[in-house]
Amino acid sequence: MSYLAKNYNRKKISFKYGKGSYLYSSDGKKYLDFVQGIAVNCLGHANPKLVKTIKDQSKKLWHVSNAFQIPEGEKLAKKLCQKTFADYVMFQNSGAEATEAAIKVARRYFYSIGKPNKNRILCVKNSFHGRTLATIFASGSKKMTEGFGPKVPGFDHFVFGDHKSLKKKITKNTAAIMVENIMGEGGIKVIPDFCLKELRKLCNKKKILLIADSVQDGVGRSGDFFAFEQSKIKPDIVPIAKGIGGGFPIGAVLMNKKVASGMTPGTHGSTFGGNPLAMAVGNAVMDIVSNKMFLKNVKNLSKYFLLNLNQLKEKYPSVIKEIRGRGLLIGIQLQKDQTKFIKKLMDNRFLTIRAAENVVRVLPPLNVKKSEIDQALKIISKVCSELK
Ligand SMILES: *Cc1c(COP(=O)(O)O)cnc(C)c1O
């Protein structure tokens, strides 16, 4: 009997330890892990540099209040700002907290310039921004919000790709448009570069803010440090989480100077957010992942993986409908429900995870080896041939 609440549908498997791209189960089996905690362990399991960092820092200082200076956080914030569009950073502990804080930053900005009625956030219908009360209503998903009323007000929705509905939904009360550059849970749907460019222009024209939820596709996952870099736009507010801690819970909101002006002392806080232990790990992850050569390697690996997956799609059109994604955020959209496919991959000691629209999500660590991608391709090919 389990004393854990039943809010997850867990697979009957647990793990004793992990190393790089592999997980070792309690019953002694070795699995190729292309879930990596859902795009969290960007440097794989038990990365030696991260292990050393956490060991060293844990002997010095774990936690102090944000009532004091935290040099490790100053350092990480500086790195994030020097690498990106951002001028300021606010640390949290998770993705949902970061997206919710992003919403607060947007509203507070308009409040601070004397426009408190500009407070509505326009989001993509059935997007994913986390599981807090505000963020589930931001997603506009019936499944996630059912039974959790009353509805949190302040969110409007448009349909992904429907530019007409997007323009129609902008009102004088709209404060910001919030999008995932690549819809993760929603089925690895990429916003094309030209759309993101137009979206930025539209926000400028309407004098509203652009929030780019980069919790899943950020921190190198897309092959660029941020997915929106490829379209050369600058959002106003960017929540991040998943990858930045490499497995340690860290979230953050990156913002430009303009919107940061609303966040005066006392407007937001977090007991754990940005503590020295978390920040030490974040710095170590950042030093590796923000490196140009590291990101170039992610792009090369991605190209190789996507090319081969597309060849499998050509070979097994009755199984694979489409290959989606960018960088190492990859979706294999199947013709049918993906449950059986994922189960068969798992029987072959290969772990993946589902997303919406019959998609099998494939999320290797960003430092995955080419030979490990080959191993994955071999198993995917085998399962395709069995299911065709
Ligand atoms: C995972 C995710 C979140 C929520 O992150 P949590 O750490 O689970 O709260 C928010 N936005 C996006 C795009 C995500 O993928």
Residue pLDDT, tens place only, 277-289: 999 999 999 999 9
Average pLDDT, stretch 112-135?
Answer: 98
Average pLDDT, stretch 151-162?
Answer: 97
Q: Among 132, 131, 136, 139, which residue's Cα sits nearest to residue 158?
A: 139
Average pLDDT, stretch 137-166?
Answer: 96
36 and 94 inside one domain: no
120 and 227 inside one domain: yes
The preferred substitution site among 126, 131, 216, 270 for testing ligand 1, maximizing ligand atoms within 8 Å of CB, is 216
CA of 215 to the centre of ligand 1 (A): 6
Nearest 5°: the CA angle 120, 126, 128 is 80
Residue 330 has pLDDT above 90, yes or no: yes
Residue 1 has pLDDT above 90, yes or no: no
Domain boundary among the residues 263, 289, 315 is at 289
Beta strand 329-334 with 359-362 is antiparallel
The preferred substitution site among 35, 92, 128, 141 for testing ligand 1, maximizing ligand atoms within 8 Å of CB, is 128
pLDDT digit string (tens) for 255-312?
A: 999 999 999 999 999 999 999 999 999 999 999 999 999 999 999 999 999 999 999 9
Ligand 1 shell residues, CB under 6 Å: 94-96, 99, 128-130, 180, 184, 213, 215-216, 241-242
CA of 129 to the centre of ligand 1 (A): 5
Over its C-alpha atoms, the chain yields an Rg (Å, rounded) of 21
pLDDT of residue 67: 97
237 and 159 inside one domain: yes
CB 258 within 8 A of CB 108: no
Domain CATH number, residue 362? 3.90.1150.10
pLDDT digit string (tens) for 206-222?
A: 999 999 999 999 999 99
Domain boundary among the residues 244, 268, 289 is at 289
Residue 136 has pLDDT above 90, yes or no: yes
Residue 86 lies in a domain: yes
215 and 240 inside one domain: yes
Residue 174 lies in a domain: yes
Range of the domain at 27: 15-47+293-387
Residue 7 lies in a domain: no
Measured in whole angstroms, the distance separating CA 362 from the mean position of its chain's CA atoms is 13
- Looking at the 3D structure of the chain, how many domains does it have? 2
pLDDT of residue 149: 96
DSSP symbol at 48: H
pLDDT digit string (tens) for 39-93?
A: 999 999 999 999 999 999 999 999 999 999 999 999 999 999 999 999 999 999 9
Residue 105 has pLDDT above 90, yes or no: yes
Residue 64 lies in a domain: yes
Please enumerate in sequence order all residues whose Cβ is within 8 A of that of 7, keeping only pairs 6 or more positions apart, or say none: none
CA 216 to ligand 1: nearest atom:
15
pLDDT of residue 324: 98
pLDDT of residue 82: 98
214 and 302 inside one domain: no
Nearest 5°: the CA angle 327, 202, 172 is 130
Average pLDDT, stretch 358-368?
Answer: 98
Residue 227 has pLDDT above 90, yes or no: yes
pLDDT of residue 18: 98
166 and 230 inside one domain: yes
CA of 38 to the centre of ligand 1 (A): 10
Residue 252 pairs in a beta bridge with 91, 240
Residue 382 lies in a domain: yes
Provide the mean pLDDT of the chain.
98
The preferred substitution site among 215, 237, 354 for testing ligand 1, maximizing ligand atoms within 8 Å of CB, is 215
Domain boundary among the residues 265, 289, 313 is at 289
pLDDT digit string (tens) for 240-252?
A: 999 999 999 999 9
Domain CATH number, residue 67? 3.40.640.10
Average pLDDT, stretch 300-325?
Answer: 98
Residue 243 lies in a domain: yes
75 and 87 inside one domain: yes
Residue 6 lies in a domain: no
251 and 303 inside one domain: no
Please give the share of the chain, as a percent, with pLDDT higher than 70: 100
Residue 347 lies in a domain: yes
pLDDT digit string (tens) for 7-18?
A: 999 999 999 999
Q: Among 113, 377, 105, which residue's Cα sits nearest to residue 268?
A: 105
CB 229 within 8 A of CB 91: no
pLDDT of residue 238: 98
283 and 139 inside one domain: yes
Residue 37 has pLDDT above 90, yes or no: yes
Please enumerate in sequence order all residues whose Cβ is within 8 A of that of 169, keeping only pairs 6 or more positions apart, or say none: 122, 156, 157, 158
DSSP of 211-270: EEE-TTTTTTTTSSSSGGGGGT---SEEEE-GGGGBTB--EEEEE-HHHHTT--TTS---
150 and 267 inside one domain: yes
117 and 223 inside one domain: yes
222 and 102 inside one domain: yes
